[in-house]
Amino acid sequence: MPQRDHLTVTVQRGGPDAPMRPQTFEVPAYDNQTVLDVVSWIQQNADPTLTYRFACRVGMCGSCAMMVNGVPRWTCRTHVNKVLDGNAIEVGPLRNLPVIKDLAADMDPFFDKWVTAEGRHHPTRTRQEEIAPVDPQAEERQAASAGIECINCSVCYSACDTVAGNPDYLGPAALQRAWTLYNDAKDADRDAILDAVSGKGGCHSCHSMGSCTAYCPNELDPLSAIAGLKRATAKRFFGGRK
Amino acid sequence: MKVARAHPLWLAYLLHRLSGLGLAVFLPLHFWVLSYALNDAAKLDAFLTLTEMPLVKAAEFGLVFLLAVHFFGGLRLIALEWLPWSAPQKTWAAAAVAGSFLVSTTFLLQAI
Ligand code: HEM
Ligand code: SF4
Ligand code: SF4
Ligand code: FES
């Protein structure tokens, strides 16, 4: 590959007060450069007013996701040379969320839906009681464990066209969380979870197009988790219990 | 920014949506023409001579194609959502269905 010394980087600027508009920068190219490095370079060397968000820089915190050439990605672990289109990249705020400013999307609707989907623990014991042992080999536990590495980055939520078309749709991450808790031996209110995910905007709104699973940076599989909820809610509807 | 989303499952979704809509548009027409069999058999026969035309033949092929695509796409979705299979199990099942389809249609085509 020919050695490039500069990248042409277009970032989306704007927010609620100013309409979004693209702005292009020439950014020096380095080996092993991430998209977050590029955005940081612009903010530190070209335009200090550029707004974006990150924290851990190692793929743990889920705060740095942005649209990169039309695909939602965790920018701190996305190498520039994996996504370059010719010599250019285009970076924008996550899709399907309100924009705070420039590259920082407002994550509130995303997190609110975790709560709406009953994505919270319903304890079986108090802190005074002994901790119940968990069998890591149990089938149920394996289903739960499959989803627990979610970093709340909202990449799947931005990738999902059902979210784009239906503002009430809870979205892949919140539904996957509900499925995880549903399979958790230490969760005491599975009916509340099924109630929360079987209504309007719940798991049955999902069209199994799989963009969530295709783009999740942690290689999780919300598509299959949501299919699990579809089966569980349908079983309950027809009078069966798991 | 243009959204890039052309991964296989999304394309399958698009195909299913388009074939479903195509069928939804076609079916009422189909029943309307069939209704002539009850009301006006001569008109139906006149219409059926149309089906000899190459363009109409091509359109018929398109419809059968739509139905096949939507049918297998629908079975795919039902399997995907209702059978909690692992990825390798799905690959084997798909291969088995494709293989048996190939063999059985070969026999069918030889029979007719
Ligand atoms: C022949 C008449 C048919 C018509 C007019 C029709 C039409 C449609 C339409 C418009 C959709 C919505 C697509 C979407 O939500 O993305 C759909 C979805 C679906 N169809 Fe059909 N269909 C027909 C036959 C079938 C058959 C024979 C099967 C099964 C083998 C089937 C299985 C499905 C399934 C599973 C869905 C859900 C797709 C989703 O959730 O996105 N359909 N159909
Ligand atoms: S599989 Fe369901 S949740 Fe995932 S992207 Fe498609 S519609 Fe959205
Ligand atoms: S499921 Fe994956 S893409 Fe979605 S929020 Fe969790 S880590 Fe991010
Ligand atoms: S900065 Fe924490 S995941 Fe990217």
Instruction: Render pLDDT for B64-99 as a digit per residue (tens, 0 to 9).
Output: 888 888 998 898 899 889 887 777 777 777 788 888
Ligand nearest to the CA of A56: 4
A167 in a structural domain = yes
- Do A142 and A198 fall within a single domain? yes
Tell me the per-residue pLDDT of B16-66, one tens digit each, with 9 for 90 and over: 999 999 999 988 888 888 888 788 888 888 877 877 777 777 777 888 888
Number of domains forming the structure of chain A: 2
Residues of B in contact with A159 (CB under 8 A): 5
User: Shortest CB distance from A208 goes to which of B3, B7, B77?
Assistant: B77
Q: What is the pLDDT along chain A (242 residues), one digit of tens a residue?
A: 455 799 999 999 999 989 999 999 999 999 899 999 999 999 999 999 999 999 999 999 999 999 999 999 999 999 999 999 999 999 999 999 999 999 999 999 999 999 999 999 999 999 999 988 999 999 999 999 999 999 999 999 999 999 999 999 999 999 999 999 999 999 999 999 999 999 999 999 999 999 999 999 999 999 999 999 999 999 999 986 55
Atom 6 (ligand 2): residue with closest C-alpha? A209
Is the same domain home to A202 and A144? yes
**pTM score, two decimals?**
0.87
Asked if A76 contacts A64 with a C-beta cutoff of 8 angstroms, the reply is yes
Q: How far is the CA of B67 from the centre of ligand 1 (A)?
A: 10
ipTM, 2 dp? 0.81
Residues A136 and A231 in one domain: yes
Give the pLDDT of residue B86.
72
Answer with the one of A105, A133, A159 that is the final residue of a domain: A105
The side-by-side arrangement of strands in the sheet containing A71-74 is A21-28, A6-13, A88-92, A65-68, A71-74
Note whether A93 and A178 are same-domain residues.
Answer: no
Residue A242 lies in a domain: no
Each residue of A133-165: pLDDT tens digit? 999 999 999 999 999 999 999 999 999 999 999
- Write out the two tokens for A54: 């990150």
CA of A242 to the centre of ligand 1 (A): 28
Domain edges within chain B: 8-111
Containing structural domain, residue A168: 108-237
Encoded amino acid at A99, one letter: V
Residue identifier of the C-alpha nearest atom 23 of ligand 1: B20
Measured CA distances, A239 to A121, A158, A232, B83 (Å): 25, 35, 11, 19
Looking at the fold, whether A99 and A163 belong to one and the same domain comes out as no
Is B8-111 a CATH 3.40.1350.10 domain?
A: no
